[in-house]
Structure formats: C-alpha cells, structure tokens
Amino acid sequence: MSKPYQHIPIAECGEPLVAITDQIPKILPHPYISLGAPYGDRSPFFVRQSILNKLLQSQAYLQTIHPHWKIAIFDAYRPISVQQFMVDYSFEQLATSQGLAISNLTKSQKDTLMTEVMKFWATPSHDLKTPPPHSTGAAIDVTLLDSEFLEVNMGSPIDEISDRSLPDYFANSIDSQEIKFHRDRQLLNQVMRHSGFQRHPNEWWHFSYGDQLWAWVSDQNLAIYGRK
C-alpha cells in the first residue's frame, strides 16, 4: 500500500549510521529482537549522526522542563527484513485479537486487516525511492521516563493498532487521567519538535527528521535520507 509521502524525491546526503549513546536510555529487552525479528548483524539502536545530535538536544531541552526526566528509545533502525517481519506479525496479532484464523481468512477480511495494520506500519518496500522511514536511520520510536526511571504512562502502548495511538486521541477528554495522557504526549511532541523532529500523524511515539515522512509533514519538497 502506497503512502502519501512516498512521492517525495530523496537526495541521499551520505551521513553515516551511528550507535545511540548511553546518554539516551533504551527500552530493553528490545521488543522486536525478542520476537525473533531478523536483524542479522544490524542493531536497532543506530541512527544517522544528525538524528542522534537532535535527540540529545531534545533530551537537554526536556530536562529544562522536567529535571531528571529522559527520552527513551523504543526502536530506531530497521532493515527491510525486520519491517516485513513486523508487518506480518502485526497482521497475525490483529487477526487473532478478532478471533479470526489466518488460514481461513477471506480476501475481504485480509484486505480489511491489512488496511488497519498499514495505518501504523510503513510498506516494507525494497524500492530505493520508497524506503520505510525506519530503514533510513532517520526515524525513531520514543517515550518518556520520569525521575524514577519509570516509563510515563502515555495512554496506550507503542505499536498498538487502535485509535488510542493517534496523538490527539485524548485531547477532548474531561477524565483527569486522560488529560494527563494528552499533556504528556504534548510534552513529548514539544521537546522533539524543539530540535526539528516531526511526529507521525497516526503515532504519538514516532518522530523523524530528514526522511520522506518528515518532508511531507513539513511541506518540504526533498528528503535527505534514503535507505541504509
């Protein structure tokens, strides 16, 4: 399934992938590795150099608002093989959650399920003109840790395939807990945008800079990061 940002041309800048430093906490064990995703000799905790620099800037800005809070990395770089693995896994999980057997799905059921999955997952395209954002090293999935090093409850887990994942899902709630969910999502967006990241329209946790999705959200006509 094509995405609206995939028409944007890429002028690859050649910036290297680098390891995310220990200054940025990581959610461990890494969830996709735990599922058996085929990373090979690649690591999910790599990004382009500028992405790391901007992430550190956002971390520093967060601590001017909430001393001792930190941005935590859930996921970053993904080979295409991992993107395909996670799309397939998410499809199977969604079918199971609806009481559907994979072997008995009709075409209509398959199409409906895949449409839902692809609201949150990029197409695992091998075409160099249409790389998944995470396969460029420009996209990161992040959350917040509080001063006790505990994950802040953002109202839904990362990767949940439901409307609760939409960034503004709780925006109009009058429930005190849900108001807090929205406030913390807004805080995350604020600190990430401070250094130039843009948020995925459907995912409160996904931010990127320099890839096609970033260019599309930013009204830019060129991406600077292609597939790595």
pLDDT in tens, 31-58: 999 999 999 999 999 999 999 999 999 9
pTM: 0.96
Task: Give, for 72, the enclosing helix (H) or strand (E).
Answer: strand 70-75
Establish if 228 belongs to a structural domain: no
Residue at 10: amino acid letter: I
Establish if 222 belongs to a structural domain: no
Measure the CA angle with vertex 121, ends 205 and 2; round to 5°: 130
pLDDT in tens, 59-74: 999 999 999 999 999 9
- The per-residue pLDDT for 122 is 95
DSSP 163: G
Determine how β-strand 70-75 pairs with β-strand 206-208: unpaired
Establish if 8 belongs to a structural domain: no
Establish if 223 belongs to a structural domain: no
- The per-residue pLDDT for 2 is 82
Distance CA 192, CA 198 (A): 7
39 is in which domain, residue-wise?
17-217
Task: Give, for 90, the enclosing helix (H) or strand (E).
Answer: helix 80-97
Beta bridge partners of 48: 17
The per-residue pLDDT string of the chain (228 residues; one tens digit each, 9 = 90 and over) reads 689 999 999 999 999 999 999 999 999 999 999 999 999 999 999 999 999 999 999 999 999 999 999 999 999 999 999 999 999 999 999 999 999 999 999 999 999 999 999 999 999 999 999 999 999 999 999 999 999 999 999 999 999 999 999 999 999 999 999 999 999 999 999 999 999 999 999 999 999 999 999 999 999 999 999 999
Tell me the CATH number at 188: 3.30.1380.10
Establish if 4 belongs to a structural domain: no
Establish if 195 belongs to a structural domain: yes
Task: Give, for 144, the enclosing helix (H) or strand (E).
Answer: strand 139-145
N-term to C-term CA, the chain:
21
The domain total for the chain is: 1
Establish if 129 belongs to a structural domain: yes
- Which ranges in the chain belong to alpha helices (H)? 31-35, 49-65, 80-97, 107-117, 176-194, 212-217
Establish if 168 belongs to a structural domain: yes
Residues recognised as catalytic = 203
